[in-house]
Amino acid sequence: MHSSSRRLLATVALSTVVAVTGTACSSGSGGTADKDADSGTYTIWDPYPQFAKGSAWTKLLDKCGTEAGVTVKRTGFDTSDLANKTLLAAQQGNSPDVLIVDNPVVSTLAEAGVLTTTDENKLDTSKADPNLLGAGQSGGKTYGTPIGANTLALYYNKKVLKEAGVDIASVKDWTSLTAALAKVEKAGKKGITFSAIGTEEGSFQFLPWFWGSGAKLTELDSAQAVSALSLWKDWLEQGYAPNSVINNTQTTSWQEFASGDYAFAENGTWQLANAEKAGFDYGVLPIPASAGGNAAAPTGGEFVTIPVQDDTARYATAQKLTTCLTSTQNLYDTDTTLSYVAPTAAVQDKQVAANAELKPWVDAVKSAKGRTSDDLGTKYPKISEQMWKAVQSALSGAESPEDALAKAQSSVK
């Protein structure tokens, strides 16, 4: 790719990257002065600045480098900073050899010409779950492999449900969930809390209900989409969910649930450690679809990708590094550290065997879906913005769900 084209595309992509990073997942500088394939140093950038030198993660990177016969120079960035740094490096023709990046950013970087395809870099993705791999696909091509995934499910307070006479096994669809909330409210407790804030977090939390209705992101004003937004609005009107959800982040929503007064909370795998500290017995239930079964929830987590290099001979070693990082044993160790569900069935089975409480999360991930899947790519951020605006408008009472979503669809067009 010509450097002038690379500069143009990468610059156009900057604003898109900022819009989609940092919803579900967890500094310095990078680049090398000598990028010849036979140089002994290969650069890896990741979004895990919390892991310092000497941690299990950095030891794994060094181990993979040793096995590939090279030295790894690693830099950890904050998630949003990493995406922007990657685009700037691409403009300068100084991209890292291996890039681990938040999954919704993959299609943006791919469309900007920053990443190689698996056809070009020979990376084997056959073991990854297809629904997770979809977040790294654009235009019929694949641009990396997932290193792990997190997603959303319903945490529930066993004591609150027991006192309200609710059998969790009865909660199978929207009707039975709403009936459970009614019983909880009648028993003097609080029903469900979630995040409907006017940011990507709000869209992230609305998507399981949106997809669970059968709606598609290309038709925000469909009857199915209206039913999903009406469900949330009805919960607020009935007192089953608090008005605070309009301003709740996923963190403040969790704090409400941790008070012990709520029956349910929509949140993610990243709250597992906090759930253990909450002081009450809890369970986890995949979010039900409207008519039953598990709704598709959006995936968080990162992809391991191989950026474009002027010297294409570097791809062979970059592929070895990536394959090492995503091997069965290394995925198991890494995803345990990150509180992620692994992207392959073999490692998922190992995770459940080691910790049976991960079973509902594995089920949720198996039903999950990338936000940029269905070949939406860089269209997703604009769709998401109109979605969260519609949710805010309807829940605040400014507009009906029908009118709010009709306006959203019109704005996307």
Q: Which helix (H) or strand (E) holds 264?
A: strand 262-268
Parallel, antiparallel or unpaired: strands 302-305 and 262-268 = unpaired
pTM: 0.84
Q: Please tell me if the domain spanning 3-149+300-367 has the same topology as the one spanning 152-297+376-412.
A: yes
How far is 142 from 384, CA to CA, in rounded Å? Answer: 23
Which letter does DSSP use for residue 282 in this model?
A: E
- The total of other beta-carbon atoms located within 10 Å of residue 173's CB is 16
Given this structure, which CATH class describes domain 152-297+376-412? Answer: alpha beta
Q: Report the alpha-carbon distance of residue 276 to residue 297 in Å, rounded.
A: 23
Domain ranges of the chain: 3-149+300-367, 152-297+376-412
**Residue in this structure with the two tokens 């943006």, named with its chain if needed:** 108
Q: Residue 391 belongs to what H/E stretch?
A: helix 380-396
Q: 190: which 2 tokens? A: 């609080």
Q: Print pLDDT tens along the chain (413 aa).
A: 333 334 334 444 444 454 555 555 443 334 444 566 656 999 999 999 989 999 999 999 999 999 999 999 999 998 878 989 999 999 999 999 999 999 999 999 999 999 999 999 999 999 999 999 999 998 899 999 999 999 999 999 999 999 999 999 999 999 999 999 999 999 999 999 999 999 999 999 999 999 999 999 999 999 999 999 999 999 999 999 999 999 999 999 999 999 999 999 999 998 988 999 999 999 999 999 999 999 999 999 999 999 999 999 999 999 999 999 999 999 999 898 888 999 999 999 999 999 998 999 999 999 999 999 888 888 998 999 999 999 999 999 999 999 999 999 999 98
Distance CA(308)–CA(327), nearest Å, equals: 23
Lookup: tokens for 370: 């990338």
- d(C-alpha 227, C-alpha 243), whole Å: 19
Contact 181, 171 (CB under 8 A): no
Rounded to 5 degrees, what are φ and ψ at 181? -65, -40
Sign of CA dihedral 27, 31, 37, 40: negative
Cα–Cα distance, 247 to 124 (Å, whole number): 43
CATH homologous superfamily of 3-149+300-367: Periplasmic binding protein-like II (3.40.190.10)
Return the biggest CA–CA distance within the chain.
70
Residue 329 has, within 13 A of its CA and on its CB side, a CA count of: 4
